[in-house]
Amino acid sequence: MMTQAGSAPIAPRRIVIDTDPGQDDAVAILLALASPELTVEAITTVAGNVPVALTTKNACALLELAGRTDIPVFAGAARPLHRAPISAEHVHGETGMAGADLPEPTLRPQAIDAATWLVDLLRREPEGAITLVCLGPMTNLALALTHAPDIASRIAGVVAMGGAQREGGNITPTAEFNFFVDPHAARIVMHSGIPITLLPLDVTHRAIATPARLALIAAVGTPVTDMVVRMLGAEDRFEKLKYGWEGGALHDPLTIGFLLWPELFSGRDCNVEIEVDAPLCMGQSVVDLWNVTDRVPNALWINDVDSDAFYSLLTERLALLD
């Protein structure tokens, strides 16, 4: 429990991380585990970067690496709501964790599926007690909302990596990967009335893992930081070739960064709709950034970050994990 000078103790924010690890998902999970301001209640997994069997295995392996096998893992949706599965081994490697070299985990997921568990958790906890951090396709949350619409009012908020406007798409000309994989799920969440913060490509493309920033992480010299540098180096190769950058963008960890250090970020409340019908624009996030329609704002759209400060703080936190 944290305290501030002259004030009462502040309880850590309780979060559930819904994820498809993925190297950048892994860094986000490790950052959350290293941060006393957050309590990770569970990790729920979904098909995305790789199939759900592998994302679940990767989540278990990461918790073992961090010495946090007390945190349960719940395997979730194996495919999108209405589309064939799409994955990204061309970016993340066949296991989703190229460069990690993690041993086979002994930790196993719980017997109950992710969506069912989410409904049970949210119904038994006080209203507003749980924040959901979505790092992959939103299939699990959409399934939970479809089966139990009453849980929407019980969720403190959703902080998600997803969408793009200024940056176009990274999987099609118009769509960001998470929203493209399951646009119908993203649309359900965006229409749920839950307070939503989106960290799209518009901001993640401002947080590049340059050689200088990776060198600072490498200098820590722990098994965790060594693994992070290897993973980000493996993932970087794709984005270096695609965009001509010095390194890859650090997408998913910005969600945890926003929870920890919101003062590093800026954005705008606006309406975001997800395209589900037009073939050329499937999964596109249509962002009314300048309020030119009468659509009611439904998200805080983050579009900038102090990336130097973020990498500095990330390095400090990763150093806390042996």
Residues with catalytic roles: 251
**8-state DSSP, 2:** B
Query: Which tokens sit at 159?
Result: 């902080």
DSSP 259-293: HH-GGGEEEEEEEEEE--S-GGGTT-EEEETT--S
Q: How many CB atoms lie within 10 A of CB 166?
A: 12
- Dist. CA 154–CA 314, nearest whole Å: 30
Name which of 234, 223, 227, 232 is nearest 250 in CA terms.
232
Let me know how long the chain is: 322
Q: Which residue type does 98 have?
A: A
Alpha-carbon torsion angle 202, 182, 149, 126, nearest 10: -50
